[in-house]
Structure 1
Amino acid sequence: MTEEEYKDFDYTKFVDCLRATTPDTLSGESLSGGILHSAVGMSSETGEILGHIKKVIWQGHCINCNYIIKELGDILYYFTSMCNLIGTNIDEVRKQNIEKLTKRYPEGVFDKERSINRNE
């Protein structure tokens, strides 16, 4: 993809690309099956990042940011897939997350006691 094509590649086009690259075997999945596929996918990709960090911390490897970025892209793929399945999008997820954090930390900063003693 060229730089110009990337500039025009908004969230809607990303979702269209995601749908086009979803395996046909998932098209007939139940909602719970699709959600499970997305959850396992996010977990697997997160595990790949953890494996890389393990090598950095305990085996002397250097952090490879490009590798991490590629895995984050895979996580975004599965995240977006799950959003589509449950009828939401990244903007709504961010909004609800900010609301949750604002309720938990009304001063707008992390507080150890509020973290430990959550009312949720």
Structure 2
Amino acid sequence: MEFNDYQSLANRTLRYGNEQVLTNCALGLASESGEVLRLIQNYTFKNYDMPKEELIKELGDVLWYVSQIAEWANIPFEDIATSNIQMLEQRFPTQD
């Protein structure tokens, strides 16, 4: 799936008025990031198994919120991914 296709499909599930979208998505992103952190904390410090399906779900929720913040700001999701890879390539050049 392409990033922009994901963003468009995810946007169909957005159920908040325009004035509340940014705040709701920012709070949701923080909350879902906390869920990912809880899984990592349990794995790292409590010796729990890493529940892969739950991790996939929580990371998907994080992805949804990021995509909708970008949608609100009229930023194609593909632009975010491309910009991030370009930054990483500059920060960590390949050793050929």
In the other structure, the counterpart of 1:56 is 43
1:65 aligns with 2:55: no
CA distance in 2, matches of 1:18, 1:63: 26
CA distance in 2, matches of 1:34, 1:90: 17
Larger relative contact order, structure 1 or 2 (CA cutoff 8 Å, min sep 6): 2
Runs of 5+ consecutive residues of structure 1 not aligned to the other structure:
1-8, 110-120
Following superposition, the deviation at residue 65 of structure 1 comes to: 0.7
1:21 aligns with 2:8: no
Q: Calculate the TM-score normalised by the size of structure 2.
A: 0.77
Q: Calculate the TM-score normalised by the size of structure 1.
A: 0.64
Amino acid at match of 1:78: Y
CA distance in 2, matches of 1:58, 1:40: 26
In the other structure, the counterpart of 1:85 is 72
1:98–1:20: structure 2 CA closer, same or farther, 3 Å change rule?
closer
Runs of 5+ consecutive residues of structure 2 not aligned to the other structure:
none
Aligned length: 95
CA distance in 1, matches of 2:7, 2:52: 25
1:94–1:10: structure 2 CA closer, same or farther, 3 Å change rule?
closer
